């Protein structure tokens, strides 16, 4: 949005605010990859009747050919700026993007059984998690860098209905009382069931 407004100010100078409806029109009628359609078409399930259509139909006599030509040129200019802004944003994201790839047999806290396409993997789930679909997107995986065989028994882990771990205190490790001017605050250091023994 910022890039779009910046381009509008650069192109139209002091009259940029009068061109905001054209910018909005261009934005709403530009293809968006995330929804695989222009926003107007996705919302109303029909194509928007653009200014270009007015000149084709013959409405130009009512509105003026010069006005339609000027509007059409500005819309094309704004759409080009939108494409430029999109490609700049994509290149900035791609610079920092590091695609994750795994091999069958790698450990991601669970073992990868198979690769499904470019961005999905099937994991070997323990029998306690069989109700979950075993294929995950690569963004949900993180490589396990631990050395040796680390096994956490499912008996030790308690999950709620949303599969979040239920944390409970296991043992009091340390106690102290912090003294302030007027009061004392007890501080207790606790080991939780989510932490492993050192």
Q: Where are the beta strands (DSSP E) in the chain?
A: 111-116, 120-124, 135-137, 169-179, 184-192
- Domain assignment present for residue 132? The answer is no
Q: What is the pLDDT of residue 177?
A: 93
The answer to whether 108 touches 141, Cβ cutoff 8 Å, is yes
pLDDT of residue 50: 60
The residue to which tokens 């059409």 are assigned: 72
- Quick check: is 14 in a domain? yes
pTM of the model: 0.35
Q: Report the alpha-carbon distance of residue 105 to residue 143 in Å, rounded.
A: 11
Most confident of 38-52, 119-133, 178-192: 178-192
Give the β-pairing of 111-116 and 120-124.
Answer: antiparallel
Mean per-residue pLDDT over the chain, rounded:
76
The average pLDDT across 76-98 equals 79
22 part of a folded domain: yes
Domain that residue 48 falls in: 1-96
Residue 89 maps to a domain: yes
Q: What is the pLDDT of residue 152?
A: 63
> Distance (Å, rounded) from C-alpha 179 to C-alpha 182?
8
Number of domain units in the chain: 1
Residues 100-153 pLDDT 10s: 777 887 777 778 899 998 888 998 888 877 788 889 888 888 777 766 666 666
70-94 exposure pattern, b = at least 16 Cβ within 10 A, e = fewer: ebeebbebbbebbeebbeeeeeeee
In a domain, 102, yes or no: no
The answer to whether residue 73 is domain-embedded is yes
Residue appearing with tokens 């499904």: 116
Is the pLDDT at 59 greater than 70, yes or no?
no
Q: Is residue 176 part of a domain?
A: no
- 20 is a domain residue: yes
Q: What angle do CA 36, 37, 40 make, to 5 degrees?
A: 150
Per the structure block, which two tokens stand in for 14? 């002091």
């Amino acid at each position: 949005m910022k890039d779009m407004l910046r381009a509008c100010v650069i192109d139209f100078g002091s009259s940029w605010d009068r061109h905001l409806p054209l910018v909005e029109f261009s934005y709403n009628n530009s293809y968006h990859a995330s929804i695989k359609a222009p926003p107007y078409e996705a919302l109303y399930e029909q194509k928007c009747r653009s200014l270009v259509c007015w000149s084709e139909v013959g409405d130009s006599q009512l509105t003026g050919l010069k006005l339609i030509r000027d509007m059409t040129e500005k819309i094309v200019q704004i759409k080009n700026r939108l494409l430029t802004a999109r490609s700049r944003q994509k290149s900035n994201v791609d610079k920092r993007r590091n695609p994750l790839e795994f091999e069958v047999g790698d450990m991601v806290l669970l073992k990868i059984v198979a690769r499904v396409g470019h961005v999905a993997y099937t994991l070997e789930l323990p029998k306690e998690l069989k109700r979950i679909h075993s294929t995950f997107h690569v963004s949900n995986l993180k490589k396990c860098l631990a050395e040796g065989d680390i096994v956490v028994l499912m008996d030790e882990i308690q999950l709620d209905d949303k599969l979040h771990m239920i944390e409970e205190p296991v043992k009091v490790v340390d106690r102290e009382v912090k003294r302030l001017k007027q009061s004392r605050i007890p501080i207790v250091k606790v080991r939780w069931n989510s932490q492993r023994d050192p």
